[in-house]
Structure 1
């Protein structure tokens, strides 16, 4: 089976156009990007002969087979092994909100649909909702109606607007919100359902949602107390 992963890739901001072209070349149509800053100390930067640089963080859903070919060319074409050129990492998905959403996020990649990740039995999961800008309260109201705790928002730019019209029949704005909510696994389905019904595809928010397994937590006292 061709498992689905969330790829995170951090690279120098000046390489943004090159990376977007690189993703397109590998048929990765939907990419979310947001600005960031590196935290390497001056001592490390001096030792490597580097200057402090601004970063861009990219997120995309990949199949295992896509990652195999992408990883090879990250080394060969993007020189990711060179200090300061970037890093990439994968996180397995545990579920995704609807078949159409999955087809949209992985279009162009060969895949077989799996039911759940091998890490499906975790106590907590991270819900990630990607929506058009300006709809944070709609999404959080939907999540809270199913007893979700608070979330964290990242502002990002998205690609694949024309692609969305073809797969989802809707027009998506380039400006995106990524909302992260850590929830108990037992609450996941109800929260995802509420978000999809009230802020999902076909709504002005145009939200899509998926979950990532969380293997350990700290600082979730209020969530833990509800289980007592």
Structure 2
């Protein structure tokens, strides 16, 4: 069965509308987290946007439910129009047990195999020391990143990680989400690591996940 983790990044006043879409498709799990955007004042001015607080709303959906959710997000929330948020899917490879699968799929009969992991976009996740998200985002922009969303978190890292790698996760952290093309991904992660990575004040560590479908990204001219 094709199963996806669906992530929506939008203004906070859209949380209830997204929750209503989940309920209309009988998606059992819905999670909302609060974050903030990373657009510069120049970008906000160019595109006529306001620097609003963001929400990251997620759910789990099978392939058909995800496609219906994307169609509804386009029709009701206009998410295919740049500036109205981003919705993306990350393929799920496995789940923990039959009851979990039944809960996440509404008791649908499993079908199909593992998803193809070769996609055009990827979600870069950077975990960094609190207060350094602007520096990390600036580094990412030098490699072509357009923007990101910041979440606040608290680490639960081990002493061994700090001793051997110089990275402490047992403190206040920021998490930065950046959606990029697969071609841009390596350069962006290299730029983050080079100037704001482990051993720097930002202490950023980053990894990426495949994105099987995305709407809401700004289209850039090839020139």
Q: TM-score, normalised by structure 2?
A: 0.50
Give the CA deviation at 1:78.
Answer: 1.1
Q: How many residues align?
A: 134
Q: 1:179-190 alignment to 2 at 5 Å?
A: none
- The corresponding residue for 1:42 is 41
Provide the rounded CA distance (Å) in 2 between the counterparts of 1:21 and 1:53.
22
Give the CA deviation at 1:9.
Answer: 0.8
- The corresponding residue for 1:128 is none
- The corresponding residue for 1:3 is 2
Provide the rounded CA distance (Å) in 2 between the counterparts of 1:74 and 1:112.
26
For structure 1, the 5+ residue unaligned runs are 120-135, 142-149, 154-214, 222-228
DSSP-derived class of the 1:95 partner: coil
Quick check: 1:29–1:107 contact (8 Å CA) kept in 2?
yes
DSSP-derived class of the 1:8 partner: strand
DSSP-derived class of the 2:77 partner: coil
- The corresponding residue for 1:100 is 99
- The corresponding residue for 2:110 is 112
Task: Describe the shift of the 1:34–1:114 C-alpha distance in structure 2 as closer, same or farther (beyond 3 A).
Answer: same
- The corresponding residue for 2:140 is none
Quick check: 1:95–1:117 contact (8 Å CA) kept in 2?
no
For structure 2, the 5+ residue unaligned runs are 118-154, 159-166, 171-184, 199-223
Provide the rounded CA distance (Å) in 1 between the counterparts of 2:55 and 2:98.
29
Task: Describe the shift of the 1:78–1:151 C-alpha distance in structure 2 as closer, same or farther (beyond 3 A).
Answer: farther
DSSP-derived class of the 1:77 partner: helix
Kindly provide the CA deviation profile for residues 98-156 of structure 1, in whole angstroms up to 9, marking residues without a partner as x.
01011112227x4524554444xxxxxxxxxxxxxxxx97xx99xxxxxxxx9979xxx
- Alpha-carbon RMSD: 3.5
Runs of 4+ in 1 over 4 A off after TM superposition: 150-153, 215-219
